[in-house]
Structure 1
Amino acid sequence: MAMAYMGAGCSFYCLLYYNRHFQYYYLGNRISTFNFFKQRMRKQRTSLSFSVRRHFIDEFFFAKRGFINKTSQIIDIGGKRDKKRGLFNIDSYGAKVIYVNLDPRSKPDIVADASNIPLADESCDIAIMGELLEHVAEPMEVLKEANRLLKKGGVLLATTPFMYPIHADPYDFGRYTENYWLEAALKTGFSKAEIEKQGTIFAVLALAMQHLFLAPTTSSIGIIFKKIIRRIFENPFLKILMWLDKKCKAESLQAWTTGYGLTFLK
């Protein structure tokens, strides 16, 4: 009997505790108990939530943030101030960023072609090109222009896809290998180049799987079926493939990659 009273007392105490907790949470944050649980259960968004390719792009730029400080003069060629993809945001570092884009709808600071930007020589510390170079007909001309704009000791940080679907923005001109980018860096006046492969064959498979699930479906049955299959299979297989990607040491499997991260020093 004593144990029963003790159990009831503990339950009553816990009920009071949780009631006070939820009441406090509701008053402080204006959300209901249901929303409290909903927020606790919600998965944290990562770059993989966008795409495998975006995961590597974000990973590259986050790794290079040591180049950035509040006095840096940065030019983002082909970038957008709003509606950014992924999690990396160059604006969050307190530096001055000049956006250059050929499309005026992206509301850039300068509307210009990437190979002909109306800024003075050696006026920037850092040039950024996120997934731009595949969309220009002459990548070396764009690299020359970036070199012209950079101060001595400045750095170009760029990403470019390799094994990735053709995507017009407005055009998609090519995919280039590691050897091409090394040669391009030398020919366009950079003193040092570092090329980083972004993923192995397992990342390529994960990327292909994501695009398979994202393929458009018109029938309502197809949409429902795809959602069920995606919920059951996509996340587990994605995690397995990305885990294998990190463990992969075989040179033949490393010959496959989603793209490259480029660090060119002037």
Structure 2
Amino acid sequence: MFSKKLIELNSSRFYLEKFVKEAAESLPSRAIVLDAGAGNCPYKNLFSHVKYEAADFCQLDTEYGAIDYVCDLTSIPVDNNKYDLVICNQVIEHVPEPEATLKELYRVLKPDGQLWLSAPFFYEEHAIPYDFYRYTQFGHKYLFEKIGFKVKRIERLEGYYGTLAYQLETASKSLPTNPKFYGGGFSGLIGTSVVLFSRPLFKILSFIFSWLDTKHKNVASGYCKNYVVVAEKPNT
């Protein structure tokens, strides 16, 4: 019924790659970039025209890419004012001291350099136990401006359809089918019957809304799954 491409579609990944590609295309060939919290370096290929460096603490049981600096992001072993741009995707929620981390990213940026950051607002706990915070747009603005950044833009990464797709996907996997979770007896039977019918329907609707999100980014209603921030270190 659905193509493999549609089944694998994730509008958050679609928009995140678009966001990072925009950052990469803004840079001249002589630029130096830091991928802060790079993980397996999924966006390294987008920066093939510049000098790309990666930093991560490498403490999770996961696959990492070629990391230049294995370190805490509050203490990156490079000189002041080194980078033209820093990208920091889905990382700031994982650091226990976000203000100290942003101060360090500010330090390593050149004057007029930019930080391109994404972080979840509505998302399950992950990379446990290194998952500490969720950020509203106002929380981002407060932290960035407190440190000295000039905020250029804060916006939703994906639209509400993407958030809804994520919630439906979660429901399709997480709603229990044991009658005891619905009170047992007759109510348990009804609850289980509804869930058994709904779970595959939620899965299908999740595919559809994720696809719709890539076609029309609805930011006029609902709430977002992730925010993105573009901020600049002033040349003062």
Following superposition of structure 1 onto structure 2, how do residues 85-104 of structure 1 map, counting pairs within 5 Å? 88-103=43-58
| Contact kept? 1:162, 1:176, Cα under 8 Å | yes
Q: Does 1:141 align with 2:96?
A: no
| Contact kept? 1:91, 1:97, Cα under 8 Å | no
Out of 120, 124, 127, which is 1:168 matched to?
A: 127
Following superposition of structure 1 onto structure 2, how do residues 18-167 of structure 1 map, counting pairs within 5 Å? 49=8, 51-81=10-40, 84=42, 88-103=43-58, 106=64, 107-167=66-126
Equivalent position of 2:208 in the other structure: 239
Q: 1:204: how far off?
A: 1.2
| Contact kept? 2:159, 2:213, Cα under 8 Å | no
Q: Which amino acid aligns with 2:208?
A: K
1:14-38 deviation digits (Å, cap 9, x = unpaired): xxxxxxxxxxxxxxxxxxxxxxxxx
Q: Which amino acid aligns with 1:51?
A: N
In structure 2, distance between residues paired with 1:108 and 1:165: 27
Higher relative contact order (CA 8 A, sep 6+): 2
In structure 1, distance between residues paired with 2:111 and 2:205: 47
In structure 2, distance between residues paired with 1:204 and 1:213: 14
Q: 1:180: how far off?
A: 0.9
Aligned length: 206
Q: Which amino acid aligns with 1:192?
A: V
Aligned to 1:74, the other structure's residue is in SS state strand
Aligned to 1:121, the other structure's residue is in SS state coil
1:184-224 deviation digits (Å, cap 9, x = unpaired): 11111112331011234322110122334566x9xxxxxxx
> Unpaired segments of 5 or more residues in structure 1?
1-42, 218-225
Aligned to 1:167, the other structure's residue is in SS state coil
Q: Which amino acid aligns with 1:238?
A: F
In structure 2, distance between residues paired with 1:178 and 1:52: 20
In structure 1, distance between residues paired with 2:112 and 2:45: 20
> Unpaired segments of 5 or more residues in structure 2?
177-195
Q: What percent of counterpart residues are identical?
A: 24
Q: 1:55: how far off?
A: 2.5
Equivalent position of 2:231 in the other structure: 264
